[in-house]
Structure 1
Amino acid sequence: MLKTFRTSDRTLMVLFTIFVLAAPLIMAPLGAGYPDLMQRFAIYGIFAIGFNILFGLTGYLSFGHAAFLGVGSYSAVWMLKLLSINIVPAIIFAVVVSGLFALLIGFISLRRSGIYFSILTLAFAQMSYNLAYSVLTPITNGETGLQLDLTDPRILDTVNETSQVASPSFLGLEMGDTAVVQFLGMDLQFNVGFYISALILIGMFYLSLRIFRSPFGMILRAVKSNQTRLNYTGFNSRPYTLTAFVISGMYAGLAGALLVCMDPLAGADRMQWTASGEVVLMTIMGGAGTLIGPVLGAGIIKYFENIFSRINESVVEGWFSALPDGVTDFLTAVVSPFLGSGWHISLGLIFMLVVIFLPGGLVEGASRIMNLVRRLSQTRKTTSSPSVARPLGDDESPEEPPPGSVNTRES
């Protein structure tokens, strides 16, 4: 049974909800408020939260989670092609299929632990990736990828009499619909697809929070702490780890379905090992085993991928244009390799620094800063209010030292 909601958890949930819904306004000054990137922030946040349920709680490191992301994408596209352009059936079907696929892979892979488990999941993911390009081409459409077409039947929808391919929608609202609002000289873009993804992200974060605080989550932490000792007590932990694996796979399938709902194209590239490695980086950078860390890590990596990769040498020169020419050329030559096409170098350096100095991720760094500020404020309060000695009254005398002690007072 789930524990009651604590005050701190309620506060965290409220702050997280406000931040997610206000993200376009917050990220606009950083050049990241446009719909496509905001959608990716939310979707990959869901992906990372699901991975954290497995890795953060049980310690089982999967290098094959991209397989569930790809399976979810393919499943969603088929529902959009055959059933309805409405995203709800596509999302439900993708989550169910991904869960069944995760059940199959988890049942086999969880017979081993440690590096052997990681290698097994990687092998399954690579096998799925290669099958999508070969045997399963009639289902995946091979290298071209699976996408919507004018000839799709969609048995629940009316006949499409236009010459344009229908776009995924929800309650009549297309995912690409965007309202532009002027605010402080900025064009704020409020996109339907982002807010649907954001609401789902908030719901998945809430579910993750409840799992973390539940007895089920405590058992998963015990598995991470010492699974061998837990098994020696006669407790069978395998059903719990398998359940965590399936839940994590369903999160990944949900993220894959949302990617298709925003851009109705599913390709096997989403099942590559690089996609699995990316979600590992997101979780570790933000803070594995924490609630907010994976979402933070996903946002940072997607920001680097979409913003830093666009900064070219001319932009860097503009940053240092006020300096002398020689200094400008030198700084441009030093900084440019880390931006644009070299954004991976910057991200790699940041990841190395986080792993070396903040093993608990950026959440640990924020916690250290908060503790330091708290200690400094307490020290300042202590030094600003020193104790004042009270003068003795006429009928009072200094306390005599106890017998046997050395009297240091002058006689």
Structure 2
Amino acid sequence: MSNTQIATPRQDLIYMVVLSAVVLTMPLWLQPFGAAYPDLMQKFMIFGIFAVGYNILFGLTGYLSFGHAAFLGVGSYTAVWSFKLLSMNVVPAIIFAIVLSGLFAWLIGYVSLRRSGIYFSILTLAFAQMSYNLAYSVLTPITNGETGLQLAQADPRVLDRMAGIEATSGLPSTNLFGLDGTGYTGFYICAVILIISFFIALRIFHSPFGLKLRAIKSNQTRMSYTGYHTRPYLLTAFIISGMYAGLAGSLLAMTDPLAGAERMQWTASGEVVLMTIFGGAGTLIGPLLGAGLIKYLENIFSAFNDTVLHNVLSFLPDWLNNILTAIISPFVGEGWQLLLGIVFMLIVIFLPGGLMEGLGKIRRAIRDRGQKPADGASSDKQHSTEEA
């Protein structure tokens, strides 16, 4: 779907039905790829939400933020505190994480959006690194420093105790009104939240607000000349994007009730930038593709070592097996990011619009190939008519 195409409600409905079917059947069609286990599929969903939210800012306005990991961390810390103080039910955790992340995004956006271009990017990076250092050392009573914020059996959990829910032995697990927050049930909880989040992003993309954001990306100066004050629109997009990141952070805490400062590092911000560009910034489905493929590379190829490579290439002669293993091994295992860097470099050079641009080229090539016989037949008919 093109960015400039005006979508009808019917097209949006078809879009959502197809996406929902693909997401909810992931345990089936991911089986041949070795990626159908719950933990990995939950990461697909969570980082898909993170990337979809980031795309609302970067994809629609062109403002490149290097600080969105701060909101991811705020969402995680807020969710874990909710689990400790209130309830192991994820609903209060999600609500508080979204609200606090939105407030934090308003604070950072209000200052950072006074600048644009590379200056805006540097400001967001500075705020994210300050947030990381605050969480790591200064705010240790709240964040528990380098150890990370964790659950304890003695936590008050006021709402659970009022409802008569007591932990019998060991640490309690997160839940959604009794549904376990881990395993396949946790995956489907994350999947439903992803679908809802995507629908909201879809409506934003096709709303007058979304058109104004595209106009800012196209020519902010010209839009200012037409009488629009662009900063409120940018700040709103920044806050919405931060709230998406906070939601993703709360879901990370749901799957693993631990919040650490490493979730606020600049590398986490860079990862969501890679996901968005990899899939196609400014497109609806591109960030989801980018998030899924990068997490797949991280979890599948990082598990490869020399022994696994030898077993995979065991059908080859031993001498060829050894040579190929020596060539491939630097790009998998601990060096999987080398492979990611090469793939990303090829994408940026040959497909600046990301994977969605590549899929668009394939679709146009198939369409043009299907039209050629018809065009040739009409040309032959016209030529015979002229001869007659």
Same fold by TM-score greater than 0.5: yes
Partner of residue 168, structure 1: 174
- Superposition map of 1:313-352 within 5 A: 313-352=306-345
The one-letter code matched in structure 2 to 1:325 is D
1:208-247 alignment, distance < 5 Å: 208-247=201-240
Deviation of the 1:155 alpha carbon: 1.0
Tell me, yes or no, if structure 1 residue 144 matches structure 2 residue 147. yes
Deviates more, 1:282-291 or 1:311-320: 311-320
Cα deviation, residue 8, structure 1: 2.6
Alignment of 1:369-408 (within 5 A): 369-383=362-376, 386-387=380-381, 389=384
CA–CA separation in structure 2 for the residues paired with 1:171 and 1:234 = 49
* Cα distance in 2, alignment partners of residues 229 and 99 from structure 1: 29
What is aligned with 2:31? 28
Of 8-17 and 300-309, deviating more is 8-17
Are 1:271 and 2:264 matched, yes or no? Answer: yes
Aligned partner of 1:162: which letter?
T
Q: What is the DSSP-based 3-state SS (H/G/I as helix, E as strand, rest coil) of the residue aligned with 1:387?
A: helix
The yes-or-no answer on 1:50 pairing with 2:53 is yes
What is the CA–CA distance in structure 2 between the aligned matches of 1:275 and 1:342, rounded to whole Å?
A: 18
Unaligned runs of 5+ in 2: 1-5
Q: How does 1:46-125 map to 2 (within 5 A)?
A: 46-125=49-128
2:248 and 2:125 map into 1 onto residues whose CA distance is 19
CA RMSD between the two structures: 1.6
Q: Which amino acid aligns with 1:340?
A: G
Offset, 1:48: 0.1
| Aligned-partner Cα distance in 2 for 1:272–1:391 | 72
Give 1:297's aligned residue: 290
Q: Mark the CA change 1:390 to 1:120 in structure 2 (over 3 Å): closer, same or farther.
A: closer
Choose which of 4, 7, 16 in structure 1 pairs with 2:10: 7
Match of 1:404 in 2: none
Q: How far does residue 297 in structure 1 lie from its aligned partner after superposition?
A: 0.2
Distance 1:291 1:161 in 2: 42
Aligned equivalents of 2:173, 2:377: Cα separation in 1: 65
2: CA distance, partners of 1:236 / 1:390: 62
State the shift of 1:4 in Å.
Answer: 7.9
Q: Which of 152, 157, 161 pairs up with 2:160? A: 157
* Secondary structure of the corresponding residue to residue 345 of structure 2: helix
Offset at residue 333 of structure 1 (A): 1.4
Deviations 1:143-202 (A, max 9, x none): 1111111111111113525221111111211112x4xxxxxxxxxxxx011100000000
1: distance between equivalents of 2:79 and 2:167? Answer: 23
Aligned AA (1:370): R
Task: Return the offset for 1:135.
Answer: 1.8
1:339 Cα deviation (Å)? Answer: 1.2
Distance (Å, rounded) in 1 between the aligned partners of 2:7 and 2:52? 21
Partners of 2:167 and 2:33 lie apart in 1 by 42
Displacement, 1:327? 1.8
Paired with 1:141 and 1:64, the residues of 2 have a C-alpha distance of 22
1:154 and 1:298 map into 2 onto residues whose CA distance is 34
Q: Which whole-Å CA distance do the structure 1 matches of 2:126 and 2:238 have between them?
A: 16
Structure 1 CA distance for aligned equivalents of residues 166 and 364 of structure 2: 60
8 Å Cα contact 2:137/2:146 also seen in 1 = no
Give the alignment partner of residue 195 of structure 1, picking from 188, 192, 199.
Answer: 188
Aligned length: 378
1-structure distance, mates of 2:24, 2:17: 11
Kept in 1, the 8 Å contact 2:153–2:167? The answer is no
Instruction: Summarize the Cα distance change of 1:122–1:390 in structure 2 as closer, same or farther, 3 Å threshold.
Output: closer
Residue type at the aligned position of 2:371: Q
Deviation at 1:384, TM superposition (A): 5.4
SS across alignment from 2:36: coil
Shift, 1:355, TM fit: 0.5
Aligned AA (1:362): L
The worse-fitting range, judged by mean Cα deviation, of 195-204 and 334-343 is 334-343
Task: Identify unmatched segments of 5+ residues in structure 1.
Answer: 179-190, 393-397, 399-411
CA deviation string 1:337-358 (max 9, x = no partner):
1111111111110100000111
After superposition, where does 1:359-370 map in structure 2 within 5 Å? 359-370=352-363
Structure 1 residues 16-60: Cα deviation after superposition (integer angstroms, max 9, x where no partner): 111000111111111111010000000000000000000000000
1:374 to 1:161, Cα distance in 2 relative to 1, 3 A = closer
Give the CA deviation at 1:6: 3.2
| AA aligned opposite 1:77 | V
1:408 equivalent in structure 2: none
Question: 1: CA distance between counterparts of 2:113 and 2:148?
Answer: 31
Q: Which amino acid is the alignment partner of residue 144 of structure 1? A: T
Counterpart-to-counterpart distance in 1, 2:324 and 2:248: 40
Amino acid at match of 1:283: T
Q: Are 1:310 and 2:290 an aligned pair? A: no
Deviation (angstroms), 1:105: 0.4
Larger Rg: 1
Give the secondary structure class of the aligned counterpart of 1:64.
coil
Residues 73 and 246 in structure 2, CA contact (< 8 A), matched pair in contact too:
yes
Q: Which amino acid aligns with 1:382?
A: D
Over residues 58-100 of structure 1, what are the superposed CA-to-partner deviations in whole Å (9 max), with x where a residue is unaligned?
A: 0000000000000000011111111111100010000000000
% same residue? 65
